[in-house]
Structure 1
Amino acid sequence: MALIQSVQGQPDPFATFETKKSDYYGLQIANVIATEWFGKGIINSKCNFISRRNYVRGNRLFVRGEQNIQPYKDQLSRGDNDLNLLNLDWTNINLVEKFCRIVSNGISDENYVLDIRSSDKLSAKLKEDKKDSIRKDMISMPMMKKAKEVLGVDLMPKGFIPESEEELDFLFESEERPIVEIFEEILIDYIKNTNDWDFIRAQNNKDLVDNGLIGARVYTDKNDGVKVAYVDPQDYVHSVVKRNDFADKFYEGIVDTITLSDLKRESDFSDADLRIIAKTYASQNASKVDDFSICAIDEIIDYKIDVLRFAWKTSKKMVFKKKIRNDKTIKVSLKNELFVAPDKDDVGMISRTLDTWFEGSYIIGANAIYNYFECENLARDTMNKAMSPFVFMASDMYENRPRAFLTNIKPIAERMQGILLKLQLLTAELKPDLIVIDLDQLAELDDGKGGAKKQVWETAASLMNVKGLIFTKRNDLGDLGVKDNASIRPLDQNQGSGITILLNQFAFQYNLIRDITGINPAADGSLSKDALLGVSRMAQLASNTATKHIVDTSIQFNKKVCELISTRINGIFKFKDAKHIQELYINVVGKNHAGAIEALKNRHLHEFGFTFRFLPTNEDMREFSEGLSVASSKGYLDEVVVIKAKQFAKTNTKLALKYLSYQTKKEKKRLEEQQMMLAKNKSENDSAAAQAKVQADVQGYIEKKKADLFFESEMSKIRITEAQAFLQINQPSVERKFQQDAQLEQMKSGVKQELEYFKETKKDDRTKLQATQQSKMIDQRHKESDPIDFENEFNFEDM
């Protein structure tokens, strides 16, 4: 859409979003911007835009040594005709480019790396699922090793499997990155490289140092995808900001000079509209057209016009109608922001307020606007973050006025240029030392030989020039005394004193630049080679500190550009209309990585966080190498670990130290286990040796006993043979002795039997006696007879 219309009043900040989307509202916003920067009408020499442009162009010319020399001429000329008497070379000596380029060239992408990390729920879940899968392999590793040893079945997982949770965390921190992060990094690098990022980066670094401003534009081209373009600070306009990162900006834009032919191709303006625009810019083009309303388009098609490509920030309210059943939302539908939910129990409303940006093109001075639309569709932006197509920053912004590195040294360089011109003036005015010749005294000289006076004079002049001899003559003036007169003598002059003062002043101003900027001799390479290493290192560190804010601004700018590129990539993969660009980016990634289609299929569901990590300096690498040597000397690190640690240290010394710490602990644990195993093996070996010794002793004892038994067996046989022979010899005597012994035993047995019989008989007698006496006693008690004396009782049976 395109619109040419005269607008009145300020835009209503409380207008509905539908109103803000209209070309008329966009034209009102553009008029506000034009009033602040261009005044009324087309760009004129007194507007703020020209002031900013002159500031940028003046600084660039000054760095190139092409600044205006008229102020220096005014400084040396105090009269109307003084310049006619001066024969000077007015060429500017470029004094500041060295300092500016030291700083800008020192800002390099080689000093830091971009670290991209996915921050969405899907990536977090995929990462955690991957961790869980590896944890399962870690837990089942002993069982799979046992299966391989016992059953011969190899179920071991492919690749590296951590041994602890600490090693697992380190693996994901250093190597096991989600594939979507790798693809995002590849796409960002591809987009930068295809848009001449090296040129943009170099120009931005120069602008940051020379003008204190740095800018770029990131947009989506329907045919080529994401584009990155350089933004010249002299063409940039913005709202009043207080932050160096322009985060509080309300609007911004760039002024582009195009022809009506370009305008016709970009917009849908009619020929009548183009004639009205050409009439507005007639004063700035060599025009011979008398009546623009009837002229041919070919006569004005090459007219140059100024177009403001602007963007402004606003908010939009998204309202959804929700259907409720059993206190649960079962359906939502997008409604107009003026929608009010009916007073029903089953109907409700959900609203969200999101930031967004509009962009468009405004023809300055012509009240014309075209290509006005919302930058992004933020319906799925859960972070309420809208990004402008422009990225712009300043190293030092105060009251909407930038201050650059060059601004600090520019007055000093101007004074130094004046000193150089004065030195040139004094050098041109230098004359040889004057010599005074007194002709009267010279005439009085005589060589004593009557020679010609000319020869005498030449001889006197030669002696003074060569030998430094001065001829004098004493004249007696009578009462006036005696006077010495020199015929030839030099005249003292003080021409060199002024030059010395100027040279000292020049050196003072030069050192003042070094003090202000922090670019000391160590930084610019002019430090003496005999300077101590510690002094040189301290000077370099001081220089880095003095310009750190410039480097930080450049890094934050690069980070913001990457974030904006990522946002544009997300938009491309979100909409089906960009299918051909999606295929282009998938092919870029798929050249070296399989599975790119599957990984990028859900690219629009991912969000990324961007950080920059400074690469280690030479000093950091030196300290790390020293520590690595100490650790290696203790025997805890092998060659593979050392090489891998050095690879980590090239990008991240902290990660390398963490890796070394883990490997050292792991190696210590391995050595302890090895020592325990050696001790166990030694104990087992000692036990086995002792057991073997015991077994050997037992075996020896058994063998000895076997020999003893064999010996005893043989001896027994011998003894038996001897006994048999002895028995045969002693058989008769043995038999007799046996018979005697048997008879004696028989006799002893008979005696014993008789003795036993006697004892039993006596026992029976006593028993009978006791029974008889007992019976008598019983009878005596019954009869109550006299006592019975059993001892003296007479018994006839005993007779």
Structure 2
Amino acid sequence: MAESYMSNYFPSQVVSDKEKLSSDYGFKIGKAIESEWFKRDSGTNRFASNQNNFHKLRLYARGEQAIQKYKDELSINGDLSYLNLDWKPVPIIPKFVDIVVNGISERTFDIKAFTQDPYGVSKRTKYMEGILADMRSQDLNEFAAEAFGVNLQASDTNPLPENEEELQLHMQLNYKQAVEIAEEQAINVLLEGNRYELVRKKVNYDLCVLGIGCVKNTFNKSEGVKVEYVDPANIVYSYTEDPYFEDIYYFGEIKTIPINEIVKEFPNLTEQELKNLHNQGHQSTGFYNRSLAESVNQDKNQIQVLYFNYKTYMNEVYKVKETATGGSKVIVKDDQFNPPTELLEERFGKLSKQIEVLFEGAMVLGTKQMLKWGLAKNMMRPKSDYTKVKMNYNIVAPRMYKGKIESLVSRITTFADMIQLTHLKIQQVMSRMVPDGIYLDADGLAEIDLGNGTNYNPQEALNMFFQTGSIIGRSFTSDGDMNPGKVPIQEIQSGSGGAKLQSLIQTYNYYLQMIRDVTGLNEARDGSMPDAKTLVGVQKLAAANSNTATRHILQAGLFLTTELAECLSLRISDIIEYSPTKEAFVQKLGRHNVATLKEMADLHLYDFGIFIELAPDEEEKAMLENNIQQALQQQGINLEDAIDIREIKNVKLANQLLKLKRKRKAEEDAMLQQQNIQQQAQANAQAQQVAAQAEAQKNQVITQNQMQLEQTKSQLETEKMMKEAQLKKELMNHEFQLNMQIEQMKAQTAKQSEDNKENRKDERTKIQASQQSELIDQRNNEKPPKNFESSGNDIMGGGFGMNAFEPR
């Protein structure tokens, strides 16, 4: 809590710049800080109180808290002689601390940088407008590419986004300027070089145990940029109620440094000053550091040094004078430059503005020795607001109220104490518990005769009982009376501490459950055996709620990382613009990506915004994977889309991409279905056309076949007719020839017949004449009658003739 009079410690900030630069002013600042945090007179030592509180919380977090209060609880007037207990604390809190810290440290993240200076913004805007223009003229571009082979696209994006929502997602996922990639690589190289992963684990542990975390970044020409872990128990700061410490104006760190290191860091110290530092007796009393109160840490060669940053303002004053040529000449002046108004109006002008500045100081606590005071070199100023300045320290306490810091461990120390007391009580009860015994009736054994001449003695009876569980007894005595000791051996049940033990175990479980309720770390989170009847979904929901209960610790660690990355971004600009190690730094980055070397040369001209892209936890991954699997099962996305979605660490962007992919897939499926319908219709039309063509071809073939057949028939008929005509012609010709021949023969025959007739007529005439002549001769000669028929072969010449056979 802030003190009501603490503002009286610090000197006024409304003084001249020259006074602020003086060592006396720095000494007053150092003494004011010392008075606020290390007051002796009031009995309140704020620094020691913080250290004691943090030390106690760290012991609880390790399971090594002080056991004296437990002894005081169980002792009687301080006497512990009757107790023989194991006082070692039950390490129940370390389990819960490790669950939270390891769970946070396992969450990976990427540092993203984007340009927010006018040039970078205009470049991004121009790229986006180019895509919008291509989206609007996509049809024309496609026509020009197909028709003329000319690419009219203003951007190289392919395929183009279909709408503005998809364009926004494209800009977030795919668009990255080369200088942004270079900036991200530069920040990662600096973090890896400073082994920030180890620093981050320490800070996460402090946030869980102490409720506050702090890191420091510095720059020097010999070592470059350094990132260091700062122990919250050793820091001092101005009073604030802001958990992110945005309004503090000083911040300091107490370091215990050997004198030899002091000589190396501050070589301007004289021999006498070093002797005075060595002789400071209070440095080993532990007043300024509780750890030095232990005898093992008392060392006069070590001194306590307060390193601090002090934020104030200074004036920048310029004298503006007109030259003979009509121009203006600006001359830097100090804040005491205040000429009369007449001169300002007649001869020259005055320009002034106030800017925040950061002073760095180092003072030996408890002394008047200032080791360092002056303006900080390479002050980190956001380029968007040059008048502001950032401190070298980044600090956060997510659960701070009115200056009081609360942590996860501070909530459960009371329950841890009760668990320890319950554990000690259980030991007490167990130490007083005795095992079950055996009651042996010796008189009952005396009445037993085994019949073999020996008596049933106690030893033999116990041996038989322990080995077989059997007992020999007599219902009557030797006198015939009832034997009250007929069962000579009986078990003695000792249940004096069982109920108490069960009650203590229930109490132990009650306080353990109280720790779970207070921290939100339930059985689903801490790895305990869950109820067998609990559904898996309910267990996952419980684990998710547990993660929500500790999310403020994760967010606080990410806030520190983001703030540190912003500071490193400004440091990178300083390295490239001012540091002599610029070339080595650029070459170191060049090993990762040579293409960024040109961009690195002008990196200091850009202004970047830094944000953290956190990898999803197991629950978020499971939900995203469930969405992906459902989309795949429903064929809402392709396998390639699922691979692209899984590579995105931002769950929100991944789900947006999943929705766009599903929407595009649905549109593609609808388009494909429409195309299939069209293709089916075209196929049906083509099939019908083919069928019609086939039918036409078939009919044509049939027609052609018929025509060919008819033609063949016609040809055959023609040929037949021609042949018939030819034959007829030949026959007619033959007939004609025959007829001619016949006619000729008839003519010949007729002629012959005529000739024959004539010949026969002539011959008859001759015969008649001959016969007439012979008749005349007969008459004349009176010869006898004469036969005129031939009597033999009477031919002329005396040969054989056929004349007798000729027709007549």
Considering the TM-score relative to the shorter chain, is it more than 0.5?
A: yes
1:397 aligned partner: 400
Contact 1:145 1:156 in 2 (8 A): no
2:91 aligned partner: 94
Aligned pairs (5 A) from 1:103-502: 103-108=100-105, 110-132=107-129, 149=146, 159-164=156-161, 166=163, 168-267=167-266, 268-281=268-281, 284=284, 303-322=301-320, 333-340=331-338, 342-344=343-345, 348-375=349-376, 376-377=378-379, 381-383=383-385, 384-434=387-437, 442=443, 445-448=446-449, 455-458=456-459, 466-467=469-470, 493=494, 494-502=496-504
Q: Which moved more, 1:135-144 or 1:69-78?
A: 135-144
**1:724-764 per-position Cα deviation (integer Å, ceiling 9, x unaligned):** xxxxxxxxxxxxxxxxxxxxxxxxxxxxxxxxxxxxxxxxx
Superposed displacement of residue 193, structure 1: 0.8
**1:688-739 per-position Cα deviation (integer Å, ceiling 9, x unaligned):** 999999x99xx99xx9xxxxxxxxxxxxxxxxxxxxxxxxxxxxxxxxxxxx
Contact 1:138 1:161 in 2 (8 A): no
**1:623-672 per-position Cα deviation (integer Å, ceiling 9, x unaligned):** 44454455556666444334323333676423423541563376368548
**3-state secondary structure, aligned to 2:279:** helix
RMSD across aligned positions (CA)? 4.4
Superposed displacement of residue 144, structure 1: 6.7
Superposed displacement of residue 611, structure 1: 2.4
Kindly tell me: are residues 545 and 468 of structure 1, through their superposed partners in 2, closer, same or farther at Cα, counting changes over 3 Å? Answer: farther
Superposed displacement of residue 197, structure 1: 1.0
Contact 1:645 1:659 in 2 (8 A): no
Instruction: Identify the match of residue 59 of structure 2 among 58, 61, 76.
Output: 61
1:24 aligned partner: 24
Distance 1:318 1:269 in 2: 32
**Letter matched to residue 56 of structure 2:** G
**1:405-427 per-position Cα deviation (integer Å, ceiling 9, x unaligned):** 11111111122112212222222
Kindly tell me: are residues 485 and 688 of structure 1, through their superposed partners in 2, closer, same or farther at Cα, counting changes over 3 Å? Answer: closer
Contact 1:360 1:371 in 2 (8 A): yes
Contact 2:447 2:477 in 1 (8 A): no
1:588 aligned partner: 588
Distance 2:365 2:185 in 1: 40
2:563 aligned partner: 560
Superposed displacement of residue 21, structure 1: 2.2
**Letter matched to residue 97 of structure 1:** P
Distance 1:212 1:469 in 2: 72
Distance 2:434 2:412 in 1: 35
**1:123-153 per-position Cα deviation (integer Å, ceiling 9, x unaligned):** 1122233345556766787677656655667
**Letter matched to residue 97 of structure 2:** C
Superposed displacement of residue 191, structure 1: 0.8
How does the TM-score come out when normalised to structure 2? Answer: 0.72
Q: Which moved more, 1:659-668 or 1:588-597?
A: 659-668
Contact 1:464 1:470 in 2 (8 A): no
Contact 1:641 1:663 in 2 (8 A): no
Superposed displacement of residue 219, structure 1: 0.8
**1:605-628 per-position Cα deviation (integer Å, ceiling 9, x unaligned):** 322222234433444444444544
Superposed displacement of residue 353, structure 1: 2.9
Q: Which moved more, 1:229-238 or 1:370-379?
A: 370-379
Contact 1:252 1:311 in 2 (8 A): yes
Superposed displacement of residue 155, structure 1: 8.4
Contact 2:253 2:308 in 1 (8 A): yes
2:710 aligned partner: none
How does the TM-score come out when normalised to structure 1? Answer: 0.73
Distance 1:464 1:379 in 2: 91
**1:334-380 per-position Cα deviation (integer Å, ceiling 9, x unaligned):** 43334447442785544433323222211111112223222345788
Distance 2:439 2:143 in 1: 115
Superposed displacement of residue 247, structure 1: 1.6
Contact 1:472 1:487 in 2 (8 A): no
Distance 1:33 1:258 in 2: 19
Aligned pairs (5 A) from 1:538-617: 538-575=541-578, 578-580=579-581, 582-617=582-617
Contact 2:236 2:251 in 1 (8 A): yes
Kindly tell me: are residues 357 and 665 of structure 1, through their superposed partners in 2, closer, same or farther at Cα, counting changes over 3 Å? Answer: farther
Superposed displacement of residue 36, structure 1: 1.5
**Letter matched to residue 456 of structure 2:** Q
2:783 aligned partner: none
Distance 2:35 2:471 in 1: 80
Kindly tell me: are residues 336 and 464 of structure 1, through their superposed partners in 2, closer, same or farther at Cα, counting changes over 3 Å? Answer: same
- The count of residues paired between Structure 1 and Structure 2 equals 667
Larger Rg: 2
Aligned pairs (5 A) from 1:507-526: 507-526=509-528
Distance 1:688 1:273 in 2: 110
Superposed displacement of residue 316, structure 1: 2.6
Superposed displacement of residue 52, structure 1: 1.6
Q: Which moved more, 1:524-533 or 1:548-557?
A: 524-533
Instruction: Identify the match of residue 52 of structure 1 among 47, 50, 53.
Output: 50
**1:768-792 per-position Cα deviation (integer Å, ceiling 9, x unaligned):** xxxxxxxxxxxxxxxxxxxxxxxxx
Distance 2:460 2:687 in 1: 117
Distance 2:640 2:428 in 1: 69
Contact 1:138 1:162 in 2 (8 A): no
**1:434-468 per-position Cα deviation (integer Å, ceiling 9, x unaligned):** 555666xx279412579999734446656776347
**3-state secondary structure, aligned to 2:97:** helix
**1:95-136 per-position Cα deviation (integer Å, ceiling 9, x unaligned):** 110011101111136354333222111211222333455567
**1:367-410 per-position Cα deviation (integer Å, ceiling 9, x unaligned):** 12223222345788441432110111113223323221111111
Structure 2 stretches lacking a partner, 5+ long: 1-7, 287-298, 705-808
Kindly tell me: are residues 94 and 303 of structure 1, through their superposed partners in 2, closer, same or farther at Cα, counting changes over 3 Å? Answer: same
Q: Which moved more, 1:229-238 or 1:488-497?
A: 488-497
**Letter matched to residue 364 of structure 1:** L
Instruction: Identify the match of residue 528 of structure 1 among 512, 530, 540.
Output: 530
Distance 2:398 2:262 in 1: 35
Distance 1:639 1:539 in 2: 32
Distance 2:421 2:186 in 1: 52
